[in-house]
């Protein structure tokens, strides 16, 4: 069940599963994506591993507040995460971020270290130039025309995922269509929000030196076939954070197909157990 929380001037949409008394684990999604893009099966596996799993829509995505004309930073997005923890009465949580969500999780660990029990950065990067680059095959999708119907939007996202997705694992295309159809129904005009989030990423700069201050147990998970954020981004993140463990998954791209769930759950749970 989805709920709305008042975080400052924003309304943040969130949902949770698992034992309410279990250790909290917060999942932070990437640029332009929503809580529904965390696969249900992956979330259930994390809950079965002993965590209360909390998903939410970042500002400018899904059912959370959209901010036309606004400018904000990754620090603001990290502050939203900390604010949601406040509303939920959670002092600290295990934090898992994917793509831009990994960047937000990194900033949260740097700027709000008391809120992070452990950090998992998935398919993300440090912001340093020259690492974590995007293939031209992916960038061309940004030039496509705006979809006019829900079916056009869904099929466009399917094409994007085929471009950026895992080459070494099968895709559940129908599950992907279902998630993106639901995302369109929740937020039918997401392009403006994506652009504002992208502006925040571009303005963030290099976090390498700041990441050296992260002291919580950290695991960095990255696919060797990631064309959206090259594996060099994961390597750089792991190198920047003292004691971080690097988990490279052969054939994984910039997605979360069922075949990678056991590796991700195992890496995240083992890292959380170090906290």
User: What is the model's pLDDT at position 114?
Assistant: 98
DSSP string for 50-100: TEEEEEEPPTTSTTSPP-TT----HHHHHHHHHHHHHHTT-S-EEEEEETH
Query: Phi, psi (5° rounding) for residue 50?
Result: 110, 25
Cα–Cα distance for residue pair 35/28, rounded to 1 Å: 8
- What top-level class would CATH report for the domain 3-273? alpha beta
The tens digit of pLDDT for each residue in 198-223 reads: 999 999 999 999 999 999 999 999 99
Give the relative orientation of helices 261-273 and 40-48 as an angle to the nearest 10 degrees: 40
> What share of the chain in percent tops pLDDT 90?
80
User: What is the model's pLDDT at position 255?
Assistant: 94
Under the banding of pLDDT at 50, 70 and 90, the label for residue 140 is low
Cα–Cα distance for residue pair 258/265, rounded to 1 Å: 11
136 pLDDT higher than 70? no
88 pLDDT higher than 70? yes
Cα–Cα distance for residue pair 56/188, rounded to 1 Å: 17
176 pLDDT higher than 90? no
User: What is the model's pLDDT at position 135?
Assistant: 78
């Amino acid at each position: 069940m989805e709920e709305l929380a008042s975080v400052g001037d924003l309304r943040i949409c969130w949902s949770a599963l698992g034992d309410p008394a279990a250790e909290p684990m917060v999942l932070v999604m990437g640029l332009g994506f929503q809580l529904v893009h965390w696969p249900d099966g992956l979330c259930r596996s994390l809950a079965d591993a002993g965590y209360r799993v909390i998903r939410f829509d970042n500002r400018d995505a899904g059912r959370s507040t959209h901010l036309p004309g606004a400018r904000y930073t990754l620090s603001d997005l990290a502050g939203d995460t900390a604010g949601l923890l406040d509303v939920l009465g959670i002092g600290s949580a295990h934090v898992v971020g994917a793509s831009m969500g990994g960047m937000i999780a990194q900033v949260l660990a740097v700027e709000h270290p008391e809120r992070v029990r452990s950090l998992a950065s998935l398919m993300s990067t440090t912001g340093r130039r020259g690492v974590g680059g995007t293939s031209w095959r992916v960038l061309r999708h940004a030039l496509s025309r705006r979809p006019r119907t829900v079916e056009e939007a869904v099929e466009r996202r399917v094409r994007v995922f085929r471009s950026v997705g895992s080459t070494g694992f099968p895709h559940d295309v129908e599950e992907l269509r279902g998630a993106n159809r639901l995302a369109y129904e929740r937020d039918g005009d997401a392009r403006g929000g994506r652009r504002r989030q992208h502006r925040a990423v571009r303005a963030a700069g290099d976090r390498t030196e700041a990441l050296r201050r992260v002291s919580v147990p950290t695991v960095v998970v990255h696919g060797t076939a990631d064309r959206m954020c090259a594996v060099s981004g994961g390597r750089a993140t792991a190198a920047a954070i003292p004691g971080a463990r690097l988990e490279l998954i052969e054939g994984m791209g910039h997605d979360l197909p069922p075949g990678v769930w056991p590796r991700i759950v195992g890496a995240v749970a083992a890292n959380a157990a170090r906290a």
